[in-house]
Structure formats: C-alpha cells, structure tokens
Structure 1
C-alpha cells in the first residue's frame, strides 16, 4: 500500500477524528439483474481510491456484473479535493452519476436540495436492518435517510507507555478514559518529564465533538438556535482554556492541524492522543514509538459518548436507473465486500454481519498495537454515533465555535465571554 495515499485516506476518515436491497420492485441484495432486455450502464464515482484500491474496486465491479449481466458499471475515481465541486456541477447540469461515495456533511447539502434518493423508501426494512443503527442514522437529516453507510472509523486513544513510566505512572492503571483523567495525566507528565501528557486537537469539527461529549447540546430540537451556552458548554471552554494557559497541552493543539498531533507523538513528545487512524503510519515511521504504544478506549466526558466517522454511498435522484443503482450500492456495501476492504486499510464495516468475523473480535496471541486498535475500535461501534449531525451552514458554524474557543484559550476573552460570542454568531448563522 502506498504510504502517501493511505495517510490521505486516513485523514479523510478523521475529518470528518470528526459517511438492502433496492426498493420493493428490485429484489434482494444478491439478486440477478432486472428483467429489462436492454443492458443499463451505471456511472459510479469514488473519492480518491485509485491506484491503491483499483484491484479491489474492479474486483467488486466484476463480481457484480457477473451476477447482474444486464448492468454495466462505469467507474470514475475523483480526487478528494475536487469531488464536492464536481458533483455539484453535475447535479446542476443534470448530468449526475448514478452512485457516488460522499461523506455525511457534504451529502446532507445535496439532500437539502432534494437531490438524493430517500433510502428509507428505496431500501426495504429487512436490508436496512443489516447496517449498524448508528451508521444508518449518521446519514439522516430531518428524519430522512439520504445515503447508505459504507466504511466507518471510531476514535481509539494511543498511549506511549514509555512516557507514562518516565512520569511514574502505570500504563495498566493510569491511562485516561475521561477528560478529567486526561487532565490529571497531563499535569503529572509535564511535572515529571517536561513532555506533554495529552494532545487534544481542536482541528476541524473536533471542538464541537469535545463539547458534545462533555454534555453540551449544540442546537435546539429544530436546529434554529444555539443551545450550548450552558454550564456544560462553559465547562468545555474552561477546561481547554485551563489546559492551554497552564501549558499542559501543546500550542499546536490550537494552532496546528491533526498532522501536528501525529508528528509530535511520533517524535516522542506526547504521551496520549486520539489518533488511532494513524497507527500504520506510526508503525512505518517510528517503530520504537509503535512498539511502546498501547491503544485504549476513546476519551469521553460525562455523557460517555463516542464518535463515529462515516463514508457513505448516495444515489442522485437524477439517475434513470434507480433500481440498478440501489442494487449496486447494496452489493458494494454488503458484508463480504466490506470485510475484504477492511482487511486492506484500517477502517471498519457498517454491516453487522461483517463485524462478527474474528478479524474484529480476536486479536490473537501476542497482538501488535495495530491489532488492538482494530479490536477496540470495532468494540466501540455499538456505542458510537455521529456526534455532530449534518447541519446547514456547517463550515460557518464550525469556524465560529473555533474562533470563540480560541479567544478564550488565548486569553483574549473569558470563557463565558467567548461562549457568549459563539452563541451570538451561531444564532445569526442559523437564522439565515
């Protein structure tokens, strides 16, 4: 596997550490093609899977076409940076593909335009029930499901046991599972070693995720007003402000991106961070750090909530071959095909049956950190959910929250003043 692409795919999966058969007339998941005498062609777009996964995708396509000889799949792989604009242009010009790989945040924007097939109507209940409940709900807006979940990831904490021991901590007992425990580790490690015990990144949607895990509710029920200016929201702002101003977390937690976290962890400067999606990179780039890495469950707040990241499959309403498109989407995401994909890259399946495979339940004898990440990550899926649901004006809302908590952490405003700033900005954005 090419290292550059794997890192790119992993980041696509973190952003976001922040996406069944057809309808009743189209038969079962493994059914043969429709009875139409004319062969149909389905255009299928993916997000930056070539060349690393060319053999895998072409294999899935070949298997599908063999089972459905009257359906042909035309595959187009699009660079991740170009996909959003490309699909928007295609939809606006009435040339949308039949099946597309997207993430929930962007797919929800198309759903808002009524551009996507309603999967609650297109996929029979029997087939919908094959998917994890949290993964299926991650693709919903206003109670309507706009996509089929494909592959997933959950957060697992990585811990450098060597630093724990240097600080006089016991890796078997002192590894944190809550924010308050992480704060304690941060203090001890800094005092005893001068290194950082904890690196909570504030990149992308992570500020919002931290707040939800600490008990803050982002909006009211109908999503028209901010709802986080509460004791829980204030606690979140105060927590990260205290850590930052007392130099218990790196400056890069606020000023850098998620690459900063992995660079500092690989450099032996950080004891704990949420970065299990980088485990293969650590194994290749920093074998000594990898050897001393002990994966543990995700750090969370009083809610006990854990986050899930989703890549999904959508079917634009413009398709002239809806039944065939749904059939292919369900074949692509069935248990057998997902399990095979998960063995090629550190991701998780969205189908329950695939998770029953020993690959996700048994780490084997003398497991490596990679094995433990996979097992712990899979074990968390049932209790994981999309903490930040699809929202209108998402990028503006996310930036407004980041600007506010930055003002608090940098000492430009008190935590309460910064929280008030975020509330005002969110209410203005949500009223648009």
Structure 2
C-alpha cells in the first residue's frame, strides 16, 4: 500500500496522550551516544513491513555492513493499536531501542523520560543541521527543552480548484486565493454569482487552519491553548459569514474528508485539499473536472503551509546508545530518505533533498506536477498541529466551531469554550 498524504495525516493524529506509568530517567543516566557503534538493537516501524520489506531489509543490511559489530532486529506493528502497544512497552520496560513515532506519540514518552533528547546528546545534536528547520522543530514539545526525535518523512498536499467555476463567477482562474483574506473574498463572490449553489469549501476549519491563519495556538509555556485570541475570533467570524452566505457548504458541519472530496468531484464546491493520487481519480471518474483542474498551494496567511511529519525516536534507556543513535540517523539521512521517497509518495526532511531533479524537473505527468508543487512548499513548511493536541481536543474544537457557525453562540464564546475544554483535557493527560 502506498502512503498517501491523508494516511500520513491520520497516522499523525492516531493517539491521544499515552497513559504511561514509567518514570523519567535518572540524573546519572548518560545521554552521551559517543563511543563504539556495536551491539544488538531493535528497530520498530509502524505498518510498513507488508509493502516495504525489501527496502528496510536493504537498509539494515547496509548498516550492518558499515558497522560490522552491530545487529539490527526489525519488528513492525500494525497501525491499529500502535499507540496502545507503545504504552504497554513503555510501562513494561520493553520499549524498542529505535522507534517509528509521530510528534504526538513521542510527547508522552519524552515526558516519561523515555525519549532521548537529541539536543542534549553531543553526537545526535550535530546532526540537526542536516534537516529542514521546520522538520527538526516538529519533535520539540512546548514546556520542555530539547528535541526528541529525528524527523523522517514528510507529507503535504496542494489545494485543487475548479477553474470553470472560478471563471463563471467572474474570478481569474489563473489567480486562485492563496491567503485566507483572499479566500473569504473570493468565496463570497462565487456563492453570490451562483445564487448559493456553489460553495468554495466543504469542511469547517481545523486547528491547522487556525495555525495557517496566524493564530497563536498555545501559550509559550505549553501549559494551555490560546486560539481564542482576537485573531482566532476574527477567523471564525469570517467562516461564519461564509457559512451564512453558502460559501461554505451547508453540510460542512458533518463532512468527512471523503464526503468533501465527493463534493469537489461532483463540482458542487470549488476548492478542496488533496494529493497526487486525486488527479488520477479525477481523470478516470470526473473528466470534465479534470480538464478544468487547477493546482495551488494550501491556503495560508503565514506564508508557510502545513506539513505532516513522521519521526524516529531513540529510547533513552537503551543499553546500546551509540548504535541506536547511529541507526536512527542512518535511516533518516539524506541518502536513505531520498531512496525511500522514490518508492512511495513522501518527501525527505533533509536539507537539499527537495532540490533533487526528482522534485524539481517536470516530465509531463500529473503525479510529477503535484510532487513538484508540494516539494516547493515543504521547504519552509511548519507542523501546525500542536503535539499536545489530542483527538478529543480536535472533537471539542469541531463541536464548538459548529455551534458558532449555526449561530448558537458567538465565535468568541465558541472558542472560549473550546480552549476551556482542551485545557481541561491537557491537565488530565
């Protein structure tokens, strides 16, 4: 199975904060990974063995050839229950030496003293310059100093738009909105010109939208959420205006990514986020849409799009720290990431990799067209989903946003309630 942008997005928010009983590392426990790279380590991945067995076996073979005194045991866990498995291993003291994690999964492990602080370790901190700044930052946790995982593969996606619908509304089909202010303006025009029959979007705003709008999502200490500030209220107020004027689809309150995609496919909404795989779907199932398809960056008022991040964490209590750090870095270095990116639709997190012709040179195919656009935007992308923002928190935000759009409470009241609920969940974690 290929890894789509949507699959990575789902993976990145799979778990809430893990209920760990493990305690933090002691002060006399060395974080120094210098020394001979030797010994046997265990490497755990997340639902990758079925489709990439040969790739990972090759990486392990090459590593063991470069470091002949090492032995790497590879284990792969299914996506379902992965967070629970990590929790059980952490509590039982059986956490593997090197672990495939997303930023939200590494957070509770770091708090429990089980994730190696790469910034504190002299060997691994030297590797930080090899990665894109936004990617390296993704495994940093508000309220804690340090970086707790090597960034691995990234993903993002463009925004697709319907040029025909833009033209019929009197909008320039070659100049789609790129900021939220432009989106709100164009959306209202499009709805008015179509007598409310054509919406611009089919989904309500998420925490990533608030981030791309420029809203401060958390306080600097990482102890509470802050998206109920004036800028957050401003954004939700504009979304309500869109909703009231049918520029936001009436069914957006209950929409899923799949139902929103169907709305775009049937040309009842003008814009929708997607991935390279969507183009082939448009070509086969919606040829009229396909011939009028436009591709642009994600809407952002910060100049930076959202990235989804996967990482590799080193167990702080591993008995073979030099080997574990060396392997985690090996898996995520530029050579291995570039090789992996050519097998599956992901992007390297290493500096310079996105300048490779594979990500810059057109070959006339739709897949390459989208890949180039995404790679360009990733160079200065950010992971806007706070690492402390759980699935329960996403639900709380969505529910309060829906109440504001329906006029059951003001945007300020809705966001105040959302922040209150998210802060309560944060304190319970």
Structure 1 length-normalised TM: 0.85
| Deviation at residue 191 of structure 1 after TM alignment | 4.2
State the match for 1:361 in structure 2: 360
The within-5 A match list for 1:30-429 is: 34=37, 40-122=39-121, 123-141=123-141, 142-173=144-175, 175-193=176-194, 196-199=198-201, 201-202=203-204, 207-276=206-275, 278-279=277-278, 282=281, 285-286=284-285, 288=287, 289-301=289-301, 303-364=302-363, 367-391=364-388, 394-429=390-425
Contact kept in structure 2, 1:183 and 1:198, CA below 8 Å: no
Query: 1:155 and 1:10, CA in 2 relative to 1: closer, same or farther beyond 3 A?
Result: closer
Cα distance change, pair 252–117 in 1 and its aligned pair in 2 (3 A): farther
Provide closer, same or farther for how the CA distance between residues 81 and 210 of structure 1 changes in structure 2, counting only shifts above 3 A.
same
Gaps of 5+ in 1: 28-33
SS of residue in 1 equivalent to 2:278: helix
CA distance in 2, matches of 1:253, 1:26: 56
**Cα separation, partners in 2 of 1:17 and 1:186, compared to 1, 3 Å:** farther
- The whole-number CA distance in structure 1 between the counterparts of 2:305 and 2:202 is 15
Alignment partners' CA distance in 2, 1:338 and 1:415 = 43
For residues 247 and 279 of structure 1, do their structure 2 counterparts lie closer, same or farther at Cα, with a shift above 3 Å needed? same
RMSD: 2.7
In the TM superposition, what whole-angstrom CA distance separates every residue of 1:249-288 from its partner, at most 9, and x where no partner exists?
2244331222222232233333212223653663675362
Deviation, structure 1 residue 160: 2.6
TM-score, scaled relative to structure 2: 0.86
Deviations 1:151-208 (A, max 9, x none): 01234211232333444433212x1101222233333443445654522634xxx621
How many corresponding residue pairs? Answer: 407
Q: Displacement of 1:87 after TM fit?
A: 1.3
Contact 2:59 2:331 in 1 (8 A): yes
* Secondary structure, aligned partner of 1:129: helix
User: For the structure 1 residues 284 and 58, does the alpha-carbon distance in structure 2 shift closer, same or farther, using more than 3 Å as the test?
Assistant: farther
Tell which deviates more after alignment, 69-78 or 141-150: 69-78
Cα distance, 1:274–1:208 mapped onto 2, change above 3 Å: same
Question: Runs of 5+ in structure 2 lacking a partner?
Answer: 15-30
Match of 1:25 in 2: 34
User: Deviations along 1:202-232, whole A, 9 cap, x unmatched?
Assistant: 4xxx621212222322232213344333221
- Are the equivalent residues in 2 in contact too, given 1:116–1:317 (CA < 8 A)? yes
CA contact (8 A) 1:187 1:248 kept: yes
Give the distance between the partners of 2:137 and 2:7, measured in 1 at CA: 20
Query: Residues 284 and 328 (structure 1 numbering): CA distance in 2 closer, same or farther, change over 3 Å?
Result: farther
